[in-house]
Structure 1
């Protein structure tokens, strides 16, 4: 399967402290570059104004002063100039959204995770400060709430109560350096858009299509795997969880190539995984072992559907269209690979297990050991073949089996329609064989069909790498 990009967003209740942490050489062992689109007072001013507005709103909970993106970079990026990389990624965000940013480029302690921290404001910086002066005296009580008269904040001794504030006429009572928060930064479409933007930007500097990343589609037949951070106490648990998810994903590939529709696989994923996991969480809370069990049962259910489904007939190259012929040849390769796997799963492995079960007695230990080794080797062979199955299609630019099958079915439909149109034309011409009739009933244009097939292919393949910009980090290091 294709590698997915990792871009995560989090809320920051202490933007000034967070900026200090990510940009400090004393606190970061592997800090390569820092960058700001605003001056050094940006963090302090943003925090102060956010807290003031939060206090005035009377909202409970923590004040979110800013947000942070963590963008994981492939290791190939270590060959490029760090400052250039960081500026390129930060300015991309700054240009698109018009808000100020502070960023840093790091490696983790073991140098296995090269990544960018990008802190951004949800408010735009005003061209000029918006300063409000009192046209008359203004009074605030201890809670910061504005009151009408001085008497409301005066104690029995005639003095202003502690914590109350008086703004005299002509003095500044409110000033703004930023606009109000833009709610779009809270929404899921924004994060999805950012993931698309930065995945495209990352891929722009990766010439090998097999190494390029894609954004995970939560509506696909696959389950996402989780990233394991450094010193994560749940590393073993996450790794086991990822293994269960990968087993489901490989089974989904087999289901697609066995002729089970994408809609059916999605239905199984929804009912057997998502709905059962939701019910489990509601009744028992989040239990990792239970979730893995749910995924394993869903995988077994999908495998039972595969066993019940006869392998579709081998595709034949009987249509004189280059694009579709090429797709058919890929389909044949993938089809043969799936057929080999199913033979091992449905024929060889069950026979070996039955043979092991029948091999009993104290004098047959050596024979049992031989059969057990054969079972292990067969299971390993199946696992290797399942992992390599998507590679047949990746070489041609398809990110996964689902994208390839979707393309193939769409192209197949176009070609079938062309053949129907061609047959109808031949029927019409055979009825009226005169030159006038042949001119009247023109055959369907093959070139327009070929163009349509190419468009379908390009739409579903990985995006080709764009021309690299002439910056120092675009060139391989010497």
Structure 2
């Protein structure tokens, strides 16, 4: 599969504390640069006003004072000046959305994850403060909610209850330095747009097209994997989840090469993973073990489809076109790899597992252990061979198996159409037509077909076709 960008958004309930944490050299082992578009006073005022509004609204939960983006950068970015990189990425956000930001550029402890933290405000400063002066006494109860009369905050003893507030006539009872929150910042389209913007920005500084990133398409045949953050208490759980997803992705590649249509794989993904996971969440809540089990069963379902379908014959179109012939050779190469993998999956591994099941008895411990080692080696070899199939295609500019197969089928259709037209022309010519008829039935032009094949290749390599989005239960921010 192609390498995908990672851009995640989170809510901040204590923006001043978070700013202090990401910009502190004492608290960050590998902090390379920091950048601010507004001073500490701005963020203090923002936090205070956000909390005041939240209290007045009476909403349950926690107040969201600001939001944060985490943007993972490829390791090639360590060669560039950190301060310039950080300012470039931060100012891009400020120019586009017109809000204030604080950012920091970090490495994790093992220096395997170079990334930016970008905190941004959902509000803008008003040109002039909006100050409200009481024309009569204003009353607030213990929760900060405004009430109509003094009686509503008076106790049985006739005194104002503890925690309640009275603003007298002529005093300031409410002031606003900021606009209301912009709702677009909590929308899914905003996050999708940010991912596109920053993926494009990252790729501007990566010369090698094969190293460039792309935004993960949730409507592809693949499942996204999740990043494991620093000191994440759920690291083992996420790693197990990623392993299940990778197994599905490898099986999807195998299915595509085996001739199972993209539409069929998407149908299996929708019905066997998304719909069953959705039902599970509704009835039992989000349980990672259950989700992994669902993915495992879906993978087995897809593998059964692969077993039932014979490998398609190697293409043998006779027309001599360099582009198509090269792609046909690629197809033959990956199908040969797939045949070897199928042999390991359908014969070697089942035989070893059967041998292990048949090896019983007190004195067979050594034999069982040897068979278990062979089974693990066979499983590792299968995974390794499956991982190498996309690598074979990347050398020719195809980001993953899905894009390659889509391109090949389009090109195959063009060539087959050319062959049909050529056969029709040859039939017409064989009937010894008049000169006028010969002119009317001129042979199809190979050069125009060749141009069409090149266009298909370039279109799919540079801009893989996108499917219409459907509602998905994927829990990833990728």
Give the direction of change, closer, same or farther, for the CA distance of 1:413–1:86 in structure 2 (3 Å limit). Answer: same
* Counterpart check, 1:163 vs 2:161: no
Aligned to 1:38: 38
CA distance in 1, matches of 2:110, 2:388: 29
What are the Cα deviations for residues 276-315 of structure 1, in whole angstroms up to 9, with x where unaligned?
3333333333333333222222222211111111000012
Which structure 2 residues correspond to residues 26-425 of structure 1 after superposition, within 5 A? 26-55=26-55, 57-126=57-126, 128-129=127-128, 131=130, 137=135, 139-143=137-141, 163-166=165-168, 168=170, 176-316=176-316, 318-354=318-354, 375-425=375-425
Give 2:10's aligned residue. Answer: 10
1:370 and 1:317, CA in 2 relative to 1: closer, same or farther beyond 3 A?
farther
Q: What is the correspondence of 1:439-450 to structure 2 with a 5 Å cutoff?
A: 439-441=439-441, 443-450=443-450
Cα distance, 1:129 vs structure 2? 2.4
Give the secondary-structure state (helix, strand or coil) at the position aligned to 2:34.
strand
| Stretch of structure 1 that moved more, 37-46 or 73-82 | 37-46
Q: Is this contact kept in 2: 1:139–1:153, CA < 8 A?
A: no
Does structure 2 conserve the Cα–Cα contact (< 8 Å) formed by 1:130 and 1:177? yes
Q: Please report how far the alpha carbon of residue 405 of structure 1 lies from its aligned counterpart in structure 2 after TM superposition.
A: 1.0
Using the TM superposition, give the Cα deviation of residue 373 of structure 1 relative to its aligned residue in structure 2, in angstroms. Answer: 5.6
Change (3 A) 1:429 1:133: farther
Q: Distance in 2 between matches of 1:360 and 1:66?
A: 62
What is aligned with 1:476? none
Question: Contact 1:209 / 1:462 at 8 angstroms: preserved in 2?
Answer: no
Once residues 397 and 180 of structure 2 are traced to their aligned partners in structure 1, the CA distance between those partners, rounded to angstroms, is 44
Taking only aligned residues, the RMSD between alpha carbons, in angstroms, comes to: 3.7
What TM-score comes out, normalization by structure 2 length? 0.83
List runs of 5+ in structure 1 lacking aligned partners: 465-478
User: Whole-Å Cα distance in 1 between the matches of residues 267 and 57 of structure 2?
Assistant: 45
Gaps of 5+ in 2: 465-478
Q: Which deviates the most, 5-14 or 272-281?
A: 272-281
TM-score (structure 1 length as normaliser): 0.83
Partner of 1:470: none
Cα offsets for 1:216-267 (capped at 9, x unmatched)? 2221211222222222222222222221221111111111100111121122
User: 1-side partners of 2:442 and 2:136: how far apart?
Assistant: 85
* Other structure's SS at 1:118 match: strand
d(CA) in 2 for partners of 1:14 and 1:78?
A: 30
Aligned to 1:472: none
Aligned-pair distance for 1:12? 1.6
Whole-angstrom distance in 1 between the partners of 2:361 and 2:412:
56
What is the distance in 1 between the residues matched to 2:173 and 2:68? 31
